[in-house]
Amino acid sequence: MAEKHFKYVILGGGVAAGYAAREFAKLGVEPGELAIISKEAVAPYERPALSKAYLFPQGYARLPGFHVCVGSGGERLLPEWYTEKGIELILSTEIVKADLASKTLTSASGATFIYDILIIATGSTVIKLSDFGVEGANANNIFYLREIDDADKLVAAIQAKKDGKAVIVGGGYIGLELAAAIKINNYDVTMVYPEPWCMPRLFTSGIAAFYEGYYANKGIKIIKGTVAVGFDSDSNGDVTTVKLKDGRVLDADIVVVGVGGRPLTTLVKGQLVEEKNGIKTDAFFETSIPGVYAVGDVATFPMKLYNELKRVEHVDHARKSAEQAVKAIKAKEEGKTVEEYDYLPYFYSRAFDLSWQFYGDNVGDTVLFGDNDPASPKPKFGSYWIKDGKVVGAFLEAGTPEENKAIAKLARVQPKVENLEQLKNEGLAFAAKI
């Protein structure tokens, strides 16, 4: 196999790769200098579309509609864009060996790629029930959602098992968004998760009570405090039932599992310094090996705002960390520097007619404000997190763009607050003053 040499290689073809490519093009890259190597068969796309609009029965999203960088309001980078810029998209290519000492990557087919500078943007892989030896977890129609191939298989099953029964295993981001999308397809939907409420990594019990009530009003059944311990299937190998730890058995035509992910760092294990399940980087996303950068889900970086090392799994950070790394690479070449990465954690979700945003840190005491009655015609509510007398985090459901900007500013400024009761009464007005 021929050996190929590139000045810059981006390993991974997800959101971060697309935003890094755009930044390289903006700052100047010569034809043939940059390659993106991806095991997926398509150019980088906005991954959040998969758990949202991709599954809709009408008005669904399909490529090329959501290639990067449309998710942040930018130009859509179609495959032709990479060709025009002289950026090589090496698709359907899985790298099985990375030798950082010799700056060499080897693919499953034996092709080798030599780089001068490497950006690791491998993202996360889903945690599968079969990893834990759950009985029957390899049956047909048990789905995980990470890539477009997964979404295509799920869409085909939704159509084949029309108006059937779906069980969603997991009560986090993916679980909530997929439960809504599959319900819109006229399925009988049951969610199962072990925690006392949905999305416990972010939601307080008060926030979660609203979403659980709203979903229940939409006809989605929720079973908490238990897990799936086994699956039965028919003679075709299609899943038929989900067995729960509490003894209940649920009928299922489709099962979708969303129980988290883990950063894909196996290729570089033992070659780079790791921390908090990720690859340790500086504020420019350079790793312990000069000329090797890590961005997105795999990077554990210094979060300036809280003066601690953090790893963030979210599309917003994937985009911004990729841009920061490229800016740093190009500045270094010119003997200049860029400002340190100063990230404000941001999460958002959309499901049914709901849309929430969160900024900052969810630690300390909490104050819930507004109308969080799931039966309200237009519910609108939020929460503040208060630590050491300062507001450090803010959540808002149904905020306007201006209101979302206000809570973002508040989370960054971290204003002092004396009286929690007063804060509760002021609600959004408190953020508007900042």
What's the count of helices (H) and strands (E) in the chain, helices before strands?
9, 26
Model pLDDT, residue 363: 96
The pTM for the full model equals: 0.96
Residue 146's beta-bridge partner residues? none
CATH code of the region 3-125+262-333: 3.50.50.60
Q: Can you give the three-state secondary structure of 170-237, one letter per residue?
A: CCCHHHHHHHHHHHHCCCEEEEEECCCCCCCCCCCHHHHHHHHHHHHHCCCEEEECCCEEEEEECCCC
Model pLDDT, residue 2: 74
> Which CATH superfamily is 129-259 part of?
FAD/NAD(P)-binding domain (3.50.50.60)
Handedness of CA 269, 271, 275, 278 (dihedral sign): negative
Rounded Cα distance between 397 and 138, Å, is: 37
Residue 417 CB contacts under 8 Å (≥ 6 apart), including other chains: 384, 386, 389, 390, 391, 423, 430
Residue in 4, 6, 8, 5 with CA at minimum distance from that of residue 333? 8
The DSSP bridge pattern shows strands 365-371 and 380-387 to be: antiparallel
The DSSP bridge pattern shows strands 104-107 and 95-99 to be: antiparallel
CATH 3.30.390.30 residue ranges for the chain: 353-433
Model pLDDT, residue 1: 63
CATH 3.50.50.60 residue ranges for the chain: 3-125+262-333, 129-259
CATH ID of 353-433, from 2.40.50.140, 3.30.390.30, 3.50.50.60, 3.40.430.10: 3.30.390.30
Q: Which two tokens stand for residue 227?
A: 């897990």
Model pLDDT, residue 37: 98
> How does pLDDT run along the chain (434 residues), one tens digit per residue?
679 999 999 999 999 999 999 999 999 999 999 999 999 999 999 999 999 899 999 999 999 999 999 999 999 999 999 999 999 999 999 999 999 999 999 999 999 999 999 999 999 999 999 999 999 999 999 999 999 999 999 999 999 999 999 999 999 999 999 999 999 999 999 999 999 999 999 999 999 999 999 999 999 999 999 999 999 999 999 999 999 999 999 999 999 999 999 999 999 999 999 999 999 999 999 999 999 999 999 999 999 999 999 999 999 999 999 999 999 999 999 999 999 999 999 999 999 999 999 999 999 999 999 999 999 999 999 999 999 999 999 999 999 999 999 999 999 999 999 999 999 999 999 999 98
